Structure 1
Amino acid sequence: MPGPRGSPGKASSYSCGSVKARGSGDRGKVPPDFLDVAELEHHATSLRTLQTVHIPGMFQTEDHARALFDLYIPALPRLEVELRVAHRLTRHAVVAREPGIPYVATIHDAALRMQIAGRKTAKAQLSHLLEEGERPNARMLVIPFDAGGSPLAEGSMIYASASNPQLDTVEVDSPVGAVCSPTHLANFRRRMDCVERASTGGHVSLRESEDLRRVITTDPKAFRSLLVGIKVDIIGTR
């Protein structure tokens, strides 16, 4: 079953600070781990995330998020699906507010190619993601399939920085829990640094990806029009 960001596994936190209080607005309406992630993001001074098979939760469109929750087995009641969708959409406020916190999202090519609810929803989701990448406080990095392995290839991660580095928190999808220690945080920082340093530094337009064009739409002109002038960083190997 998908975790709090729509990905498989159990969410585990590595933090050297105390556990943050959960938000009260949606308490009792969505699972506690959803509230934990939202609270983590709300209090962070900056965020760095990795997603290997899903679009980052706070950048998901309403239709995309709803399609993800509709995939749950056993199926969720319609009211519960809608409550989860509404909660996920509110998480976007941390980057949209003034001033928005710095956010670096590293997304694997696989996540961009997923057609969770068909081409129309996928196209709208990609368009939304590219628009969000134009925010001055947001940076989108994409790992293509031919980039090879990476230190964080095993799953999803949120690294939330705090005003005091000793209170930084890492949220990962893991089948087991973990004991917190400063070493855990240092290791995750180094691993994320390694992924981000792999960037080629050049800005490559997604419209140059023939493969991705075929995934999103069968109309090349419509796809080029959608992406014109919008660019993202492509991570490659050195």
Structure 2
Amino acid sequence: MAENEPLDEAGGADLFRALGRQVQVLRERAGLSRRELGDQLGYSEETVFSVERGRRTPQPEFLEAVDRLVDGRGLLSVAVEDVERAKSRSRVRHPAWFLDYARLEKAAVELHFYATLTIPGLLQTESYARAIFTARQPLLGEGEIDERVAARLSRQEILTVWPLPTVSVVIEEAVLRRCIGGALVQQDQLASLLRIGAMRNVHLQVLPLTCEGHAGMEGPFILLTPKGRQPVAYVEVQDVSRLVTDQEQVRILAARYGSIRAQALDPVQSLALIEKVRREL
């Protein structure tokens, strides 16, 4: 591909599908299952599957790692620049009502989540996100489900792009035990949470069921601080979303979040509980 050749959204999707097929061919030639490849490279089986199906953007470090492991002789590494160009030019199809938040999230230096119903979207696996969109009422078409899942997964780059944002998450224990998509989907989601919780810039806590009362009983919310701007909050319920910019309201939510974190298990205890729940499913 020429250096200045334009690459539109459809072209980017075609590139990712083609690279996914190449990953699959090289993996099978090396005699590795998806799980074996993922285990050797530090990725989940689902991530490998999603890349091979063209559902997930193949990250440059993933392509280079696969190339080295299966002796691809540069077949995948040579495409890294094209992938970066496709990512920068593609348009993520978030719902219109979500766009303002998505822009602020992408520029955030701090992100804080309080989750009461589902795992926060920024931390969801593909299967978990797909189960949520599939169960949505009124029903979404298959194409729209695919678009929303892809858009949700694309946001997760925020967690690993330098400089890393500071991220904290408090998840109610009931969310861990609710098998959205079934036990296997939930187990994989919890395994992913364990990996995310081990990241240097992420502080993951669980609010246990034994907590008799806390400051978050009015529902979930998100706090974020975009670079160079005042903190804002975001709340969403029953298709109604609201970006909170009034600094007094943001201060109140931040105070509530501080109280919730104080009542939650510490990160070490939280990861232990997540692993316990995962094994019980």
TM-score normalised to structure 2 length: 0.61
Deviation for aligned residue 1:200:
5.2
> For the structure 1 residues 200 and 142, does the alpha-carbon distance in structure 2 shift closer, same or farther, using more than 3 Å as the test?
closer
Deviation for aligned residue 1:35:
2.3
> For the structure 1 residues 126 and 164, does the alpha-carbon distance in structure 2 shift closer, same or farther, using more than 3 Å as the test?
same
Conserved 8 A contact 2:107-2:227: no
Q: Distance in 2 between matches of 1:107 and 1:150?
A: 13
Q: Distance in 2 between matches of 1:202 and 1:121?
A: 23
Deviation for aligned residue 1:38:
1.9
Match of 2:219 among 139, 155, 158: 155
Letter in 1 for 2:233: V
Deviation for aligned residue 1:98:
2.1
Conserved 8 A contact 2:215-2:260: yes
Per-residue Cα deviation, 1:47-70 (whole angstroms, up to 9, x for no partner): 111000100101100011001000
Q: Distance in 1 between matches of 2:266 and 2:274?
A: 18
Conserved 8 A contact 2:107-2:226: yes
Match of 1:55 among 115, 119, 137: 119
Choose between structure 1 and 2: higher helix proportion.
Answer: 2
Conserved 8 A contact 1:30-1:80: no
Greater RCO (CA < 8 Å, at least 6 residues apart):
1
What's 2:46 paired with? none
Question: Is residue 200 of structure 2 the alignment partner of residue 133 of structure 1?
Answer: no
Aligned to 2:97, what secondary structure does the other structure show?
helix
> For the structure 1 residues 197 and 78, does the alpha-carbon distance in structure 2 shift closer, same or farther, using more than 3 Å as the test?
same
Conserved 8 A contact 2:112-2:222: yes
Point out the structure with max Rg over C-alpha. 2
Match of 2:141 among 72, 77, 87: 77
- 1:1-238 paired onto structure 2 within 5 Å: 25-26=91-92, 29-164=93-228, 167-174=230-237, 180-199=245-264, 201=266, 203-204=268-269, 205-206=272-273, 209=276, 213-214=279-280, 216=281
Gaps spanning 5+ residues in structure 1: where?
A: 1-22, 217-238
Per-residue Cα deviation, 1:93-131 (whole angstroms, up to 9, x for no partner): 111112321100110011111111111111101000110
> For the structure 1 residues 43 and 180, does the alpha-carbon distance in structure 2 shift closer, same or farther, using more than 3 Å as the test?
closer
> For the structure 1 residues 202 and 36, does the alpha-carbon distance in structure 2 shift closer, same or farther, using more than 3 Å as the test?
closer
TM-score normalised to structure 1 length: 0.72
Choose between structure 1 and 2: higher strand proportion.
Answer: 1
Conserved 8 A contact 1:155-1:173: no
Deviation for aligned residue 1:24:
8.1
Q: Distance in 2 between matches of 1:81 and 1:134?
A: 30
Q: Distance in 1 between matches of 2:179 and 2:104?
A: 29
> For the structure 1 residues 200 and 43, does the alpha-carbon distance in structure 2 shift closer, same or farther, using more than 3 Å as the test?
same
Letter in 2 for 1:171: Y
Conserved 8 A contact 2:231-2:245: no
Superposition CA RMSD, Å: 2.5
Letter in 2 for 1:95: L
Conserved 8 A contact 2:205-2:266: no
Aligned to 1:92, what secondary structure does the other structure show?
helix
Aligned to 1:147, what secondary structure does the other structure show?
coil
Q: Distance in 2 between matches of 1:51 and 1:143?
A: 10
Size of the alignment, in residue pairs?
Answer: 189
